[in-house]
Amino acid sequence: MKVLHIAAANSTSGGGEKHVADCLREMSIRGVELGLVAPVGGDLQDISSQLGVAYYPAPIDHGVVAPRTLIVRQAIADFAPDIIHAHGHRAALFARRADKRGAQRVVYTFHGIHVDKGMLSPAKMMVEHMLKSRTAAFIAVSQADLERAIKLDIASEDKISVVNNGIPDPKVPVSGFFRSGQDISPDEQIILSVGRISKEKNLYGLLRIFEIAGHIFENSGKQVPRLVMVCPGTPEEFKVLQGDIAAHPFAERIILLPRQKDLSSAYHDADIFALASLWEGRPYVLAETLSYATPVVGYAINGNIETVVDGKSGILVKLGDEQAFAQAIFNLLTNPEQMENFGSYGAQDMRENYSIDAMIDRLLSIYQGIISS
């Protein structure tokens, strides 16, 4: 079987790109002949090189569509795939414009559908409707996305299915490695948050929540925890965020880090994970942190609801209720037994329902069904 993956970004700091990287690694192990169309440079190109994946550089992350479509069309002609798997709207745009046989071999994964947030504008929606018939199968990463795609008529009900993002088994890092590296003492609690610098990740909302939580801890006579924020972004974006954090009332309790390639020790050493995103597709970062038995506090939004079992592996509060979010952080960090129970439940849930082997099995089954039809 020959599968050509198409991605419109090249960094694995986003969930969709992590998914592509996992597909390349795991399908390569299964003996699938793989190709990748993606922008030049970055993690996906490096991974392709390491795995011996046929790599076709294409600047499909920006710019005029027509000339870039020709580049993708040439890549398809050169690789001659049985399946073309497009990840996200822009990748699917190029895949379906470039391939006249799209209806027989293009698989399109929605990594979050957020029309109301401007991510699918009226113009993009029109394109989705026009190209719907050039798609052999649609994949949603959550039930909410499946239902939304059908309602918006951008996917055929008989061609769409949910495939949970699978995550690799957690690594076993040296206990305390992250703490010592960040000069955090053993008696200090850690709130970890990972999210790129973007509107939907709501980093400034998280900072407001931490201010409220800090006062709750102080008024209760307890030590304010450390907030560790891992925030991929441009140097300019990072510098602005650094400056704003410097003016925060609890600035001395906040550690801001740029993108980290390996977060295993951070997940392991954190006491809880906080995600203040305003919207999500199916956040990889939540599944990853839960796999390390670290409980979660977040908003009750699509994606989070399907990953975190409220009251069992974490606490989800009403979107926008920053006071409730801060109180949930305090309640969890001051209840060690609940933290341990939540962590154990979350790790077991990830092992049973988010296996990367199960994800690859499901994808290969979809591919084979298309090839055989």
Helix axes 43-51, 15-29, angle to 10 degrees: 0
Q: How far is CA 54 from CA 94, 133, 138, in A?
A: 18, 28, 24
Please give the model's pTM, rounded to 2 decimal places.
Answer: 0.84
Same domain, 29 and 128: yes
Cβ neighbours for 359, distance < 8 A, ≥ 6 positions apart: 22, 26, 163, 164, 165, 166
The total number of structural domains in the chain stands at 2
Same domain, 20 and 125: yes
> What's the domain range around 147?
2-166+355-372
Same domain, 251 and 329: yes
Nearest to 40 by CA among 57, 61, 62, 60: 57
Same domain, 191 and 298: yes
Same domain, 347 and 368: no
Same domain, 260 and 118: no
Q: For every one of its 373 residues, what pLDDT tens digit does the chain have, with 9 covering 90 and above?
A: 999 999 998 765 567 788 999 999 999 999 999 999 999 888 899 999 999 999 999 999 888 888 899 999 999 999 999 999 999 989 999 999 999 898 999 999 998 886 544 556 778 888 899 999 999 999 999 888 899 999 999 999 999 999 988 988 888 777 788 999 999 999 999 999 999 999 999 999 999 999 999 999 999 999 999 999 999 999 999 999 999 999 999 999 999 999 888 899 999 999 999 999 998 878 889 999 999 999 999 999 988 999 999 999 999 999 999 999 999 999 999 999 999 999 999 999 999 989 999 999 999 999 999 999 8
**CATH assignment at residue 105:** 3.40.50.2000
Same domain, 323 and 181: yes
Q: Is residue 171 part of a domain?
A: no
Helix axes 284-291, 15-29, angle to 10 degrees: 60
Same domain, 260 and 330: yes
Same domain, 317 and 359: no
Are 181 and 160 within 8 A, CB to CB?
no
Same domain, 115 and 204: no
Same domain, 7 and 91: yes
